């Protein structure tokens, strides 16, 4: 006999929380702690919801509804106060339930269902963490269509399809997965640029509130500040940086050095670099060593303060050693007045490749799938390819 319980909703205070109970003794335990409204005893039927109270002996803990999802799986919807949720979980534990995380419980529930492949289990878990609704759609699409369909197709046609074709298709899937990851997990953008160019002003504008301090003193931002904004299918995490504009590297053991180190770290981990330049300053405002640091990154250049007379000359910037790629995606804006920001948002989606991404495209969405697909790309024989594709569909998580 087994029973498991997990809180399926996020931590903190919400209107409603859900506690999931699962296992072959789930029904018996739920019946002991649940008093349905009315006089009839609790009678659970799959697909039905009952209203009542959760009680511990004579003490009522909360009024709840309980959905019977399967004969051995129940969703208790209680009030979102974390103290109530904790009380219900403790009560279940005293009644013999093993307390699990939402992920662990979902894995148990899904794995118990026959005829689901590993991708389906991974999809259920990954869906919980997707940052956008489009992200959840990409994941769901991999179960019946997308990745699963592609894998089944490879297996079905293994005699007709060449290893070279499988390899190039796997490569394509890995490539598309990088874009899908931005939609599923969100995109981190580092705001960098010379002092006073308006990085913090832009962050505040995009965040819709004053998160970072803005002054006309160079080097105002010292600590890094972040804000999340949403651009349709993209959840964009913006990080304002400091100190990168000082001469690199900064003197040892100074506050500038500490800020620079943190900013370099942020820069390296960022999916996108938003380089903020000052249109009212000359083209030598950008340190060459910073240019080198962003050469390998996806860069979008915001030519800020476009409301002021222009002193920035793109031709001169390139002649001075600035890379033309840095200016290939350049958008004039005024972060102070909001001019050009709509265009900037559109450009961000375009540069990230999410603007017209087909949500049904086969992609990988877990590190296991990615690792398996990388091996498939280099498979040396049809036999090896077959076993790798089978592993993609049915391998251990
Ligand atoms: N005219 C004009 N002024 C701007 C614009 N954006 C920012 N500013 C001004 O430029 C100054 C510097 O802005 P910040 O946002 O603090 O610049 P920053 O890049 O974060 O500066 P540091 O943190 O010092 O590196 C402030 O006085 C802003 O009001 C703009 O689009 N137009
Ligand atoms: Mg700043």
Cα-based distances in Å from 138 to 127, 146, 164, 347, 363: 9, 9, 27, 22, 8
Q: Which residues contact 114 (CB under 8 A, 6 or more apart)?
A: none
User: Which atom, in ligand 1's list, is nearest to the CA of 193?
Assistant: 19
Q: Could you read off the pLDDT of 58-70 as tens digits, one per residue?
A: 899 999 999 999 9
* Dist CA 323 CA 301 (whole Å): 12
Q: What is the reported pLDDT for 253?
A: 76
Query: Would you say 191 and 239 are in contact if contact means Cβ atoms under 8 Å apart?
Result: yes
Strands 98-99, 272-278: parallel, antiparallel or unpaired by DSSP?
unpaired
Q: Which of 34, 30, 42, 41 is nearest to 3 (CA)?
A: 30
Task: For residue 368, give the DSSP letter.
Answer: H
Helix (H) and strand (E) counts in the chain: 15, 13
Taking the alpha carbons of 132, 134, 137, 142 in that order, is the dihedral positive or negative? negative
* Dist CA 343 CA 225 (whole Å): 24
- The yes-or-no verdict on residue 249 having pLDDT over 90 is no
Of the candidate ranges 144-158, 192-206, 302-316, 319-333, the one whose mean pLDDT is the lowest: 319-333
Cα-based distances in Å from 153 to 2, 121, 156: 39, 20, 5
| C-beta 196 within 6 A of ligand 1 | yes
Residues facing 74 on adjacent strands: 21, 68
For the chain, give every domain's residue range: 4-108, 118-163+359-394
Mean pLDDT value across residues 94-103: 94
Mean pLDDT taken over the chain:
91
| C-beta 67 within 6 A of ligand 1 | no
Q: Rounded to the nearest 5°, which phi and psi values hold at 190?
A: -95, 125
Q: Could you read off the pLDDT of 329-382 as tens digits, one per residue?
A: 999 999 999 999 999 999 999 999 998 899 999 999 999 999 999 999 999 999
| C-beta 304 within 6 A of ligand 1 | yes
| C-beta 336 within 6 A of ligand 1 | yes
Could you tell me which CATH number the domain at 4-108 has? 3.30.1360.120
| C-beta 216 within 6 A of ligand 1 | yes
Residues facing 145 on adjacent strands: none
| C-beta 222 within 6 A of ligand 1 | no
| C-beta 305 within 6 A of ligand 1 | yes
Residue among 192, 194, 214 to mutate when testing ligand 1 (max atoms within 8 A of CB)? 214
DSSP assignments along 156-205, one per residue: HTTTTS-HHHHHHHHHHHHHHHHHHHHHHH-EEEEEE-STTSSHHHHHHH
Helix (H) or strand (E) holding 237: strand 234-240
Residue with tokens 């890094």: 224
pLDDT band at 246 (very low <50, low <70, confident <90, very high): low
* Max avg pLDDT among 10-19, 69-78, 222-231, 262-271: 69-78
Which pTM was predicted? Answer: 0.79
- The yes-or-no verdict on residue 113 having pLDDT over 90 is no
Q: What is the reported pLDDT for 181?
A: 96
User: Which atom, in ligand 1's list, is nearest to the CA of 219?
Assistant: 24
pLDDT > 90 in the chain, percent: 66
As to burial, measured by CB atoms within 10 angstroms (0-12 exposed, 13-18 middle, 19+ buried), residue 42 is middle
pLDDT band at 258 (very low <50, low <70, confident <90, very high): confident
Q: Does residue 365 sit in helix, strand or coil?
A: coil
* Dist CA 32 CA 13 (whole Å): 27
Mean pLDDT value across residues 232-240: 91
* Dist CA 115 CA 125 (whole Å): 17
Question: How far is the centre of ligand 2, averaged over its atoms, from the C-alpha of 242 (Å)?
Answer: 7
Q: Which residues contact 223 (CB under 8 A, 6 or more apart)?
A: 242, 259
| C-beta 36 within 6 A of ligand 1 | no
Q: Could you read off the pLDDT of 166-211 as tens digits, one per residue?
A: 999 999 999 999 999 999 999 999 999 888 999 999 999 998 877 7
* Dist CA 367 CA 216 (whole Å): 45
Q: When comparing pLDDT for 320 and 339, which is higher?
A: 339
Of the candidate ranges 44-53, 71-80, 101-110, the one whose mean pLDDT is the lowest: 101-110
Q: Does residue 249 sit in helix, strand or coil?
A: coil
Question: How far is the centre of ligand 2, averaged over its atoms, from the C-alpha of 212 (Å)?
Answer: 7
Per-residue burial over 152-172, b = 16 or more CB atoms within 10 Å of its CB, e = otherwise: eebeeeeeebebeebeebbee
Residue among 201, 206, 212, 239 to mutate when testing ligand 1 (max atoms within 8 A of CB)? 201
Residues facing 304 on adjacent strands: 278
Task: For residue 51, give the DSSP letter.
Answer: E
User: Which atom, in ligand 1's list, is nearest to the CA of 216?
Assistant: 27
Q: What is the reported pLDDT for 96?
A: 96
User: Which atom, in ligand 1's list, is nearest to the CA of 276?
Assistant: 19
Ligand nearest to the CA of 201: 1
Query: Would you say 367 and 338 are in contact if contact means Cβ atoms under 8 Å apart?
Result: no
The total number of residues shown for the chain amounts to 397
DSSP assignments along 295-353, one per residue: TTS-EEEEEE-TTSPP---HHHHHHTT--HHHHHSEEE-BTTTTBTHHHHHHHHHHHTT
Query: Would you say 184 and 352 are in contact if contact means Cβ atoms under 8 Å apart?
Result: no
């Amino acid at each position: 006999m087994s029973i498991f319980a997990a809180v399926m909703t996020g931590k903190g205070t919400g209107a409603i929380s859900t506690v999931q109970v699962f296992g072959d003794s789930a029904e018996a335990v739920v019946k002991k702690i649940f008093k349905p409204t009315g006089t009839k005893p609790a009678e659970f039927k799959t697909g039905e919801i009952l209203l009542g109270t959760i009680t511990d002996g004579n003490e009522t803990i909360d009024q709840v509804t309980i959905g019977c999802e399967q004969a051995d799986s129940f969703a208790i919807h209680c009030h979102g106060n974390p103290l109530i949720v904790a009380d219900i979980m403790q009560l279940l534990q005293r009644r013999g339930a093993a307390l699990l995380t939402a992920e662990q419980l979902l894995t148990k529930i899904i794995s118990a269902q026959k005829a689901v492949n590993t991708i389906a289990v991974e999809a259920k878990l990954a869906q919980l963490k997707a940052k956008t609704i489009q992200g959840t759609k990409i994941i769901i699409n991999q179960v019946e269509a997308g990745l699963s369909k592609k894998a089944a197709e490879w297996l079905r046609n293994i005699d007709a399809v060449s290893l070279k074709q499988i390899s190039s298709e796997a490569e394509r899937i890995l490539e598309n997965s990088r874009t899908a990851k931005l939609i599923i997990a969100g995109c981190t953008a580092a705001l960098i640029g010379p002092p006073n160019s308006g990085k913090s002003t832009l962050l505040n504008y995009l965040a819709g509130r004053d998160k970072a301090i803005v002054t006309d003193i160079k080097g105002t931002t010292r600590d890094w500040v972040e804000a999340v904004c949403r651009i349709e299918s993209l959840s964009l995490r913006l990080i304002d940086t400091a100190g990168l504009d000082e001469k690199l590297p900064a003197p040892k053991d100074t506050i500038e050095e500490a800020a620079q180190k943190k900013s370099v770290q942020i820069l390296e981990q960022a999916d996108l670099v938003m380089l903020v330049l000052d249109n009212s300053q000359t083209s030598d405002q950008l340190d060459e060593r910073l240019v080198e640091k962003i050469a390998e990154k996806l860069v979008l250049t915001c030519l800020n303060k476009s409301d002021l007379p222009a002193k920035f000359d793109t031709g001169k910037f390139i002649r001075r050693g600035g890379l033309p790629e840095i200016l290939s995606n350049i958008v004039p804006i005024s972060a102070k007045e909001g001019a050009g920001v709509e265009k900037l948002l559109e450009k961000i989606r375009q540069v990230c490749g999410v603007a017209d991404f087909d949500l049904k495209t086969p992609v990988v969405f877990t590190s296991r799938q990615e690792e398996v697909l990388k091996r498939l790309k280099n498979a040396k024989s049809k036999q090896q390819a077959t076993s790798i594709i089978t592993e993609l569909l049915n391998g251990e998580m």
